[in-house]
Amino acid sequence: MTFSVERVRADFPLLNREVNGQPLAYLDSAASAQKPEAVINAEAEFYRHGYAAVHRGIHTLSAEATASMEQVRQRAATFLNARSAEELVFVRGTTEGINLVANSWGNANVGAGDNIIVSAMEHHANIVPWQMLCARVGAQLRVIPLNQDGTLQLDAIPGLFDERTRLLAITQVSNVLGTENPIAALTALAHQHGAKVLVDGAQAVMHHPVTCRRWSATFTPSPPTSCTVPPASACSTSSRTFCRRWRRGKGAGR
């Protein structure tokens, strides 16, 4: 099948603009992707004819909005290969998803003398929350070094784990280098040491099938902004057991 650039561009209204007298070539989708006509229209239709609070009302609009949201949760679970839609938590983006894990699961499960492992290729969103958590509780942040070609120094990784390792937080695909990491092997290694795994799927979810069940990763934040969907649509998956055992990071209503 022939790939038509013109047909793809036609789906995105903003690409009809000219910038400096030239057709717009938007190359910043890794940070925030433009939205296609179908997404814009669906959002506008909801705000015009269906907007209401979800899970908080007994009137018709609330019931319809709740049903629509749960349908999206189910479709997202299928897309992410989650075991159940109950494993998905809607967040505003990957950054909030990682902070949610750090401030709920992390506060309850990481203590003084423990350690968390990240890599040198991580986005700030997968470094700073762990730095803050370690500073709060007296834990250590360990960093997987890189080779000169931007890949992980795989030989160095086993030596970073010990009986006090609580979490491996690792990107599937680097946002800067494009490096793809061996997530299945890293997850297996972490589990050998009793550690949980958070996979940052921000740069991978739109290019590769997500295999949460095969990885057995505890947390998999996946972004909306890089996937041409609204910015309040990201999902963070974990097992239902961990969802029930999380310590709340925020109180009050939805």
Q: Residue 69 domain-assigned?
A: yes
Give the phi and the psi of residue 32 in degrees, each rounded to 5.
-165, 115
Q: Residue 16 domain-assigned?
A: no
Same domain membership, residue 233 and residue 157: yes
Q: Residue 152 domain-assigned?
A: yes
The reported pTM is 0.86
Same domain membership, residue 200 and residue 93: yes
Same domain membership, residue 153 and residue 49: no
The total domain count for the chain is 2
Same domain membership, residue 127 and residue 200: yes
Residue type, 139: A
Same domain membership, residue 215 and residue 166: yes
Same domain membership, residue 202 and residue 136: yes
Same domain membership, residue 112 and residue 96: yes
Work out the angle at residue 236's Cα, subtended by the Cα atoms of residues 231 and 242, and round it to the nearest 5 degrees. 150
Report the phi/psi class of residue 176: left, alpha or beta, with left for phi > 0 and alpha for psi in -120 to 50. alpha
Same domain membership, residue 165 and residue 103: yes
Residue pLDDT tens, the chain, 254 long: 688 989 989 999 999 999 999 999 999 887 788 999 999 999 999 999 999 999 999 999 999 999 999 999 998 888 888 888 888 888 888 888 899 999 999 999 999 999 999 999 999 999 999 999 999 999 999 999 999 999 999 999 999 999 999 999 999 999 888 899 999 999 999 999 999 999 998 888 878 776 665 555 677 777 655 556 665 556 666 666 666 666 666 666 55
Provide the residue range defining the domain that includes 156.
86-245
Same domain membership, residue 152 and residue 45: no
